[in-house]
Chain A
Amino acid sequence: MPAAAGSLKKTPLNGLFREMGARLVDFSGWEMPVQFSSVLEEHQAVRSAAGLFDVSHMGEIQVVGRSALPLVQRLTCNDASRLGIGQAQYSALTTERGTFVDDVLVYRRAETRFLLVVNAGNADKDFAWIAGRAERDVEVTNDSSRYAQLALQGPRAEAILRACASIDPGAIRYYHFVEGDVRGARAIVSRTGYTGEDGFEIYLPPDRAPDLFKELLRAGRGAGLLPCGLGARDTLRLEARMLLYGNDIDETTTVLEAGLQGIVRLDKGDFVGREALAREKGAGVSRSLVGFELLERGIARHGHAIREKDREVGQVTSGTFSPTLRKSIGLAYVPSRLAAAGSRLSVGIRDREVEAAVVPTPFYKRPR
């Protein structure tokens, strides 16, 4: 049973979702829609047409001032100096051990102005982490309550957004963004997402979000756009091997173990966690996050044991039935010697041992 509704935080769309009859659940202390119609239908809509998500629970932290870039560089493992204005990158706030304080999107809004988009459940922790390490000439603010966020995802997202915005979504390249007018609201629109499809994330003032949500739904009706909940968001992101903080990554897993070598820039200068990550890179990781497929019926879930010949060697971090592949898939940390595609494992699903094989990831890659 969810916690008492009064104790949960609500996005500006909560009232609209109640009217729409969405099923609402507690997610990281937020009352969020898990589904509107069916997870499978919503998933399919995003892969073949478009889906609209409310992700206003995400946190937004601004880092502004002459020392903004040095601060972001010191606290994240990717190289923010490579960002042009109007560009975004996936990165992580790292601990001294090279593990995740959080995984984040870093937007460069001006030479000295960065926006960090962080996980809902980590927003306060991240803000304290960053503000506590800020020195002179930089201001850090937790602006989470000043932004709602909508994610419009799927092959038809561009056409639908074009009908609703005075900005030209076609001019925004992948992992770039523009700031401009969307239905009379000042918004940040980036070509990013958490589904493995083309799409946009739109940050706007909370009081404007319900109107834009309704307007996008209207504009997309003929194109097959569906409102989507966190259920479909989870199956979509897992097929695309996008990681979920608290499930796949946390303060006990390093960025390299998670397989995110691409966002670890050891050559950019010193940063928190650099030494640990450099050491780990030199020695090789002892365990790796791998994708697997079940060879028998069943669904692996977070926390299920991974065994090799009766010996527990790891745990499932995420698992689901993949609607696109019609297979049961998951992610797990396993000893690196078992990380190659084709390695055989078993997953303890309740009282059964289910055969599984390590497979290449992402499980799904969109056709281009």
Chain B
Amino acid sequence: MSQGSAIYPDHLKYTKEHEWLAVEGKVGTVGLTHYAQEELGDIVYVELPKTGTPVVAGEEFGTVESVKAVSEIYAPASGEVAEVNPALAEHPETVNKDPYGDGWLIKIRLADPDDLEGLMSAVEYRKFIEDEAN
């Protein structure tokens, strides 16, 4: 299977738990990677924290549940939940269909936008999942 740049966009940062982070100013948008949604299969529930909830880099902030499995979601960076994707309660399958677009999970008001330690570039992430698959 090809793991092209379309599947792992270059402008995003990635975690080992298969979340992505897009930073714009002081706000980071978080979602699941193509790899994660494909591994999970059809997503039927997404549990997310309320606006204002603090999140800590590397710690769990929600869960996604597919027909096959349940999986925790981890915060790529620390801060406070600024926005929650309202569409996912009714249409969790959006995460499968458009993981980098309409399927985003939360926006974080970042505690320190310059501190994104431990996150991978698209190239590193692609390498990481290839290694994980082997």
Instruction: Let me know if B45 and A34 touch, CB within 8 A.
Output: no
Residues of A within 8 A of B65 (CB): 298-299, 321
Instruction: Let me know if B45 and A38 touch, CB within 8 A.
Output: no
Residues of A within 8 A of B68 (CB): 34, 39, 231
Instruction: Tell me the bound Cα distance from A16 to B129 in angstroms.
Output: 25
Interface assignment of A136: CB less than 8 Å from any CB of chain B: no
Instruction: Let me know if B1 and A298 touch, CB within 8 A.
Output: no
Instruction: Let me know if A39 and B1 touch, CB within 8 A.
Output: no
Instruction: Let me know if B67 and A320 touch, CB within 8 A.
Output: yes
Interface assignment of B98: CB less than 8 Å from any CB of chain A: no
Cβ distance A5 to chain B, nearest Cβ, rounded Å: 12
1/0 per position for B8-51, CB-CB distance to A under 8 A? 00000000000000000000000000000000011011010000
Instruction: Tell me the bound Cα distance from A24 to B45 in angstroms.
Output: 24
Partner of B67, one of A297, A298, A323, A350: A323
Instruction: Let me know if B44 and A299 touch, CB within 8 A.
Output: yes
Cβ distance B61 to chain A, nearest Cβ, rounded Å: 14
Number of chain B interface residues as a range: 10 to 19
Residues of B within 8 A of A231 (CB): 41, 67-68
Residues of B within 8 A of A320 (CB): 67
Residues of B within 8 A of A338 (CB): none
Instruction: Let me know if B44 and A321 touch, CB within 8 A.
Output: yes
Instruction: Let me know if A299 and B41 touch, CB within 8 A.
Output: no
Instruction: Let me know if B42 and A39 touch, CB within 8 A.
Output: yes
Cβ distance A22 to chain B, nearest Cβ, rounded Å: 12
Residues of A within 8 A of B96 (CB): 38
Residues of B within 8 A of A39 (CB): 41-42, 67-68
A-side residues, CB < 8 A to B, are 21, 34-35, 38-40, 231, 235, 297-299, 301, 320-321, 323, 350
Between-chain CB contacts (< 8 Å), 6 pairs: A21-B1, A39-B67, A297-B45, A301-B70, A321-B45, A321-B67
